[in-house]
Amino acid sequence: MSSSGPETLPAPAPTLWWARVHAALMPDYNRQAAAYWWLMVAAGVGACIHALGWLTQQTPSVAAQVLVGMAIAMGAGIFPVRVPHSTHSFAAGETFIFLLLLMHGPQAALLAAAGEAAVGSYRTSKRWTSRLASPAMAALAMWAAGTVFAAGEQALGPQRLDHGGGLLVVMAMLFALGYFFCNTLLVTAVARLKRRQWWRASDLLGVFGWVGIAYAGSGAMAVLLYLTYLQSGLGVLAATVPLLAMLLATLHYFFRQQEVADAVRRSSAEAA
């Protein structure tokens, strides 16, 4: 007669509601990463609610312009591009987001940024942690960077349009890099906290460097469209949207080719 060892009983299921939510949404998150995730989502939702309150107080014309800009940015989010060597992705709608910032302020840009991130993350990730946190973090990054940019614009006043708008171009490019830095810092912090590691500059430069250049170019493009709007009105600006859409489609195709080439290189390295 043989004796068997003690039976291993399955771990009891969580009984508290927050424990069940944690087990369903983020089973691989430690306490620090989970606390950070909840903080970012709560703060991002609060920022979006504040921006929606601002939108309800605008004139129908301004509200329509903001909604159209949001729709275009979210349309760009349908075709996100995955960053090589990373699980993160970005969309090419930043030009329209930055244009909304120039035309109507950080609240409008915040809504567009959150909408684009929501669509992009839904397309690229099956995890609700990413689908919820990405728009929240984009909203917070735009709130921080956009508020600083708006304060700079207010301080300079009409002088920002001197020299053919050259100063505004520089400001917009610096803002775009600042927004990119904030958003990247917020996103990469999740993975670092899960691994209990400190943030490194390589998270920004090594993985997202070429995306940062694209952000800066989007900022410059947004200023050119904004100057067109100031000089020729909304009709001429609307006529440039199809051309810009073609440019963004070309940019998307180029980045997609880079993604495919990177996948081929990885496959070749694994087969060698």
Q: Which two tokens stand for residue 21?
A: 């939510």
pLDDT confidence of residue 2:
47
What global pTM score does this model have? Answer: 0.79
pLDDT confidence of residue 1:
46
pLDDT confidence of residue 75:
83
pLDDT confidence of residue 47:
96
CATH of 30-258, one of 1.10.1760.20, 1.10.287.180, 1.10.1740.10, 1.10.260.30: 1.10.1760.20
pLDDT confidence of residue 272:
61
Q: Which two tokens stand for residue 186?
A: 């917020």
> Shortest CA distance to 150 belongs to which of 122, 186, 179?
179
Cα(122)–Cα(131) distance, rounded to whole angstroms? 6
Please say whether the dihedral angle defined by the alpha carbons of residues 179, 183, 185 and 186, taken in this order, is positive or negative. positive
Cα(102)–Cα(227) distance, rounded to whole angstroms? 10
Q: Which residue has the tokens 């809504």?
A: 111
> Shortest CA distance to 191 belongs to which of 176, 178, 207, 179?
207
Domain extents for the chain?
A: 30-258
pLDDT confidence of residue 261:
76
Answer whether 52's CB lies under 8 Å from 64's CB. no
Per-residue pLDDT of the chain (272 residues; tens, 9 = 90+): 444 545 554 555 556 666 676 666 777 788 888 889 999 999 999 999 999 999 999 999 999 999 999 998 888 777 666 555 555 556 667 888 999 999 999 999 999 999 999 988 888 788 888 889 999 999 999 999 999 999 998 888 877 777 667 889 999 999 999 998 898 889 888 888 887 767 666 656 655 666 777 788 889 989 988 988 888 877 777 777 777 777 767 766 776 777 677 777 777 777 76
Cα(179)–Cα(191) distance, rounded to whole angstroms? 20
